[in-house]
Structure 1
């Protein structure tokens, strides 16, 4: 506040000085003009007097004849007689005549002073007349015969052998201007006082408002939780608040005037390669919420989020970086991720445990059946039965073994979790044809039509052939099993869905999936003795390829599964 009051006082003082200087300059110009005009009037008056005296002298010389002294005396008498009747001009103006007598100047006429004593030709007084009697002409501002500073015009008077001077006191010339300056000064003081009073009256509330606003903004900046850094056009730190200093571990004075790259990596302060003058564009936001790695005073890295804005300040560009310390948030995120991974791991272990119990239970029946079939086979061999009976028993045993193998393989796939892919280039047309031929016998045995359709121009696919076959085998198998009797239909279709992606669809006209069944979750299945493991593993395989799998219900009955895969394979 005191600083602003001093600035206001300085402003008033400057206003006073400007007013006084302007008035003084105006008076000075007017005074010089008046002085020049007065000099011109004196010169005209002196010239008129000289011409008149010379005319009288010529007239007297013509009447008297060749006696020059008598003519000069007669002329001088007339001139003196005429000028003694006049009191000069103005208050101090007069016409003076004098002649040189050896080393002295003898005055013949002074309209103001009457008879004057002689002056030495080389003395300090009477400078205008001393020049005139020496035959010089001109003007000067110098002391007269009484030592008064006068404005004088002088000239020789050859007709009388004298010098003539027309002069006026310089004080008389100055007097109107001094009076005007006094009156003007009084009015100027009044006007300046009134102006200063009005300025203070109206400026103080504005200054108070500005001070309040400045204090409020300063408090906001100083107490902000986020760091605030002001950066100039050369990329140097102009200012930073305490929060920014705390984030990077510096005292503000250690950073001000140094490159911002001391705190932030190159490119983070303006969205490209550092805040340089040539990078400054239109005012506005340069970058929003960029996460970068800052550098603390101790050399440690610190994750920060910065928002950079740019604005013109005093005909130059200034960047303002808002810096938010992400260290605590990153630690919290890492802890949450770790907890999430552990929770997922525990959930998966729980699922594996539940699935193990389910599989152990499910394996009981086929293993018991397998044991009974083995005993039957043993009796058939001992009895010497024919080959047809033994072959039938072996076929049933192989079917049971395949079921057990499938169950164990799916469990192993699920328990492994991470899907390791061995990518290959797959011709989808040939792949679908091979798939359809493999499942046609089973479909035909149930009276189900198996159709396939591959859109022309579908490119080859980068994928793990064995795992993709496992996904499609599971979908086709489920589709065939979902159809209760003959007359149903299963279709396999391949087509584009968007650039760089293909869709493999398996549709059936079976009973469909009830709304309450949440497939792709363990133990969620439409089969009485199923585990839902096949679709869970299929989903994990598809996700490992960078794709997606979904299903939809088809009215009036049926289901369609869609597998979307990137043509070029997984990106990571």
Structure 2
């Protein structure tokens, strides 16, 4: 083994000295052939691309046009050196067909060579989409040094070659050794290359497949974009989020699909990433869906760089958070309504107390005076109290729904009434101002709905007035009714100024309005409260300049067996002992004045003092305000019931309590402020009767 190694080493040292000159000549020739083959291939590809566009009408097609130009030029070209030439061929079936005349063949077109044969090895490799150099047999069977190159545009192959004999003539012996050594080295290198690169290629292919699978099957949207914002790669989830195809998005930038209000902050983040100030950033923003709607997403963006440090692309990972945003907005709306509800409850309580102090004296004056002027003044006071009471009622309805008794309502009939009622506004006033407003209807035959007639009329009046206000230059209002299964639908559409998205989302909040006037009432908030209380729903569609359409879903009326009212004479009880627990001086003074005519009345203004007073005396009925200093009214009532279950308790409150409020269970009867004489006397009479029944 050592001798063999030394022998090889000696031969190599000797051979190197002999072959240096030949090797230099061989390499120079080889490089020249490669340059010829590659430059000619690229030139022919360029001609082919040009002809594919500009020579389609040439007889035989663009490829024939290219070939004719090459043949024309080749006629004036002999070759290089003594044996050098380049050949051009394409494959037809199992043969290689040469397209140009050869230097060593007098025929115009050389004879085809079998593809699987031994001849024309460089051309066979070229037609197998290989590129390189080889020492092999040409079409004549001569050994040549050749550079081969495929012409991709034409499916041809080109070979630049020179007879090996021409190269080795000055170095016959040394050249033979060099050729054999070169072939051996090439063969060994080829085997080593295949053995080395095949595992690497397989690993690279598997890695690419894993990336593609992860990219396409990800549950989030993934996008690659250039520094100018142009999309260069997208997964299907990203396309599904905003409704575009990949082809459509690849011609757009992220700026084109971003909501204008979110664009500035995103641009700022992108600049910071490109400047290296941020490695990654995350933000919530809105994309514009293909259908025009907005899609809320959470975007995480970062930059991907080449090994050289240059930017490769920007990568964005997108998560759809539209549903979460809708829930957040609904929560905010609920919290706002709750806050308004608390405010409304407090305001209505104080107003009801005040109205009671005004209403009851007015009622007493109405019943006691004979003077027509005084009676008229008392009537005006009572009417004002009723109007104020209605405002308070609507305020409460806007936050917790109406408490009117549900009844059977003919929706179409109420619509006709509402149109007639509002005609002075949309017809007479509009015409006086030179404005044309038209109301049209499409009313299907539908079943009666579940609601209240006054409530439905109030809804229609509000919607019609809103529509008129939204059309300062005139327009059309369309009212439609339809029945879908067991549900009835009412829609009111106008051609007015419309609302933007933020205004539309806040349309049902109390006191929210697009009007410029002050007397707007509770608007859509009040309507929403009534409709919800009836088991229905309301939706609004609107866009700036495109009008507004409100659609209300209502439930059908279901008939129930009627109960006959049990009527009886209102028996007035004998004089009894009453305790009034009320912290509002005006209210308890008027109550005492009314009830003292028929009963013995005592007044206490504090809950704790009321319990002490109750323990010291015996009472038949106790009238209790809910909000008391010290101990609340429901606690007083509960303690009274515990100590003496026969005593009747009557709640007097200005708070708008729902029927399911647990505090009501502590009382036998309930009176809502502002109070009326008949209501007070009836409640006291019933309380006395209950007390007597408990005693028996």
TM-score normalised by the chain length of structure 1: 0.31
Higher gyration radius (CA): 1
TM-score normalised by the chain length of structure 2: 0.27
